[in-house]
Structure 1
Amino acid sequence: MDVYEAIKKRRDIRSSFKKEPIPDEVLSKILLAAHLAPSVGYSQPWNFILIYSEDTRRRILEEVMRQREVFKNKLEGERKELFSNIKIEGILDTPLNIAITCDPSRFGPNVLGRHTMPETCEFSTVLGIENMWLAARSEGIGIGWVSFMDKETIKRILGIPENVKLIAYLCIGYVTSFPEKPELEEKGWGNRLRLSDLVYVDKWGEGVKEDLRKSLDNVKI
């Protein structure tokens, strides 16, 4: 799959997963794609916890559903009703969950490039996640990022050391189909913003010239 096609067709998947296991060689390729991501100071701060245990995943799911209710109770009216019909996870629907962490202590306290921006350690890990997501899509595999969770609770369940940061919890598996549009757009939760409204020139708020605006509004990949 062409990289632009993978970007365009990538989706955050929460349903339509199949129980079909991911072959080791395919999983290894997807993890390698993540491991080949750029990292500040070549620090490679990531680790990948492969979670097959149904018991562990049920404990994770309990925390996710608790946090879902907390968020739901903050909503009102149509938004609350709409959210009630949105599935937020595929924790037990997939053959595998993956937790991805960031170890800011790897290679010591003075990592090249992090002196003024220590958060680039976490940014590096997120770049690895995007690599993984695109590689998975090219293999016909869906990924759903679950964020309804208290990170410290999940760290305790997974035995993650105190100094290591939990960055992402992913559900991963083959799917029956990929939606044409992002699910939240299909469900009416939101729409993609117009690119030309998000691009400035030289300083904040300075819009682009008309020719570039037209190009940004009409570009296709």
Structure 2
Amino acid sequence: MKKLFAEFFGTYWLVFGGCGSALFAAGFPELGIGFAGVALAFGLTVVAMAYAVGHISGGHFNPAVSFGLWAGGKFPIKDLIPYIIAQCIGAIAAAGTLYTIASGKAGFAIDNTKAGAFASNGFGAFSPDGYSLQAAFITEFVLTMFFLLIILGATDKFANSNFCGIAIGLTLTVIHLVSIPITNTSVNPARSLSQAVFTGGEPLAQVWLFWAAPILGAIAAGFIYKNLLQQHGEPDKIVL
């Protein structure tokens, strides 16, 4: 249960901090943090929770990460569904908190006919810059695949684990810098579901892509790392 609570709180903080920055601070008049600020917010939430509770649960905070670690032989299949449920509940709870806070401003309403409403993900007319379903799928697949390759490499027994949280957080920052204009960045099915639940409409109808593409990309990364990259003997010495 401690592992599941760690995943709940870790995912809650990721969605609250990342999506909260997008909702409240990204476009604030004159002082808005913009895309770069939102990207950094997502990265920092992962860094913080990786060091806070990563030692308890492994610090997944993302169903795609759980699938990728399973495919890479680093996570037991019996824990897959419980982790995903805890992550989704944490994400939806965070989205509910954000909705409650946003409702405290006069005139607040979610316009689910616009791209990025309530920090939701989308493609086509619901992509921030009008990218197609195909473009969105490729983006989410490739970025999640590399995200998992970096996670698997940074947490490998031969890697310097003291800095793995920083490497993972910076990677998530870069991912957002690339893909916010394309899909509003998912690479995390729980994060996509949580915002879509409160947005409804077409963003909720499109959420399937933000489960399928990240999970498939993560599974591909797990198999690639396990079969092509993972070091089984003593690591090669680095000559400077």
TM-score in terms of structure 1 length: 0.28
More helix by share: 2
Higher gyration radius (CA): 1
- The structure where strand makes up a greater share of residues is 1
Q: Which has the higher contact order (CA 8 A, sep 6+)?
A: 1
TM-score by length of 2: 0.26
